[in-house]
């Protein structure tokens, strides 16, 4: 119920206006969003790097329906890649395809995605194609596969709560694709996705095991300590060393656990979002983890 309510509020501009009256709310958003501008995000990544944590840059935005806006997003990603190159920070980039034209035309989206991946290649960097709601899964995978046939510096995200994901993974591994495994953050109907946490967790572990023994470098994205422990156990039992995969988490979530895993010798990458369209992203983070809601409320009350 709480998750559904928060996902609904993520689309409510009135609720956004109400919340942003609280100075403490605006301050708390900086726990999960690095800032509105690129220099803010650069500094956030420097701080992570100082703790031996890598990063993935993400310029917030999705469901763009005007071509000039998609081109601005491409330029922002090109600027981002240039800044990574010039500053020497340890980061790659992630992009959503609805941000660069998927809701306009597939050809436009592919051209824009290709421009970003090609620029990343020039800088010796890597692009992760993010996954969105299930209605976009097939087209996202098709565009990714088209890119992967030409470039080796592009990877994809899969979501453990979708029934189809095991078959998708098998197809992607045939291309030796680098995959980020996550549980999934969108509200999906029971016709396409597991509805119970246990079923999602069981599928996550099943998919994680397929990925870890594939001989390809993947990202295991979770804040769930049970999933992390299952990954560590399986890796040890199957002689998968800590340099053969990485854990991934979101900026501002379970920072204690991020640093603990690094201290144990595991690789850690943190997804660092920035930009003016922070509100839908922020509300989804609250929906994913109820503890985040109480964190926000406590800080608002202090304000």
- Where do we find the tokens 């009256």? 21
Catalytic residue among 58, 103, 128, 130: 130
Catalytic residue among 128, 178, 180, 254: 180
Residue 189 CB partners (closer than 8 Å, separation 6+): none
Asked if 180 is an active-site residue, the reply is: yes
Residue 152 CB partners (closer than 8 Å, separation 6+): none
Q: Which residues are catalytic?
A: 130, 180
């Amino acid at each position: 119920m709480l998750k559904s309510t928060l996902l609904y509020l993520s689309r409510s501009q009135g609720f956004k206006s109400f919340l942003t009256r609280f100075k403490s709310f605006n301050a708390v958003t900086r726990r999960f969003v690095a800032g509105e501008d690129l220099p803010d995000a650069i500094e956030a990544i420097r701080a992570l790097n100082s703790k031996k944590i890598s990063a993935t840059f993400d310029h917030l935005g999705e469901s763009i329906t005007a071509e000039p806006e998609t081109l601005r997003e491409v330029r922002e990603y090109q600027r981002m890649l240039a800044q990574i190159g010039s500053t020497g920070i340890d980061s790659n980039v992630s992009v959503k395809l609805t941000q660069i034209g998927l809701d306009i035309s597939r050809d436009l989206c592919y051209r824009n995605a290709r421009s970003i991946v090609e620029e990343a290649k020039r800088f010796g960097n890597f692009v992760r194609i993010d996954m969105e709601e299930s209605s976009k899964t097939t087209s996202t995978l098709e565009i990714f596969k088209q890119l992967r046939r030409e470039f080796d510096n592009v990877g994809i995200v899969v979501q453990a709560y979708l029934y189809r994901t095991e078959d998708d993974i098998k197809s992607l591994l045939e291309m030796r694709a680098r995959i980020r495994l996550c549980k999934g953050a969108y509200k999906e109907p029971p016709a396409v996705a597991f509805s119970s946490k246990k079923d999602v967790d069981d599928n996550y572990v099943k998919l994680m095991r397929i990925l870890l023994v594939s001989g390809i470098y993947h990202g295991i994205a979770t804040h769930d300590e049970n999933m992390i422990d299952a990954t560590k156990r399986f890796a040890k039992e199957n002689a998968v060393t800590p340099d053969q995969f990485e854990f991934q988490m979101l900026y501002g979530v379970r920072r204690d656990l991020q640093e603990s895993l690094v201290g144990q010798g595991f690789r850690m990458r943190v997804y660092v979002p920035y930009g003016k369209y922070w509100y839908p992203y922020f509300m989804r983070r609250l929906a994913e983890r109820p503890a985040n809601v109480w964190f926000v409320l406590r800080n608002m009350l202090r304000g």
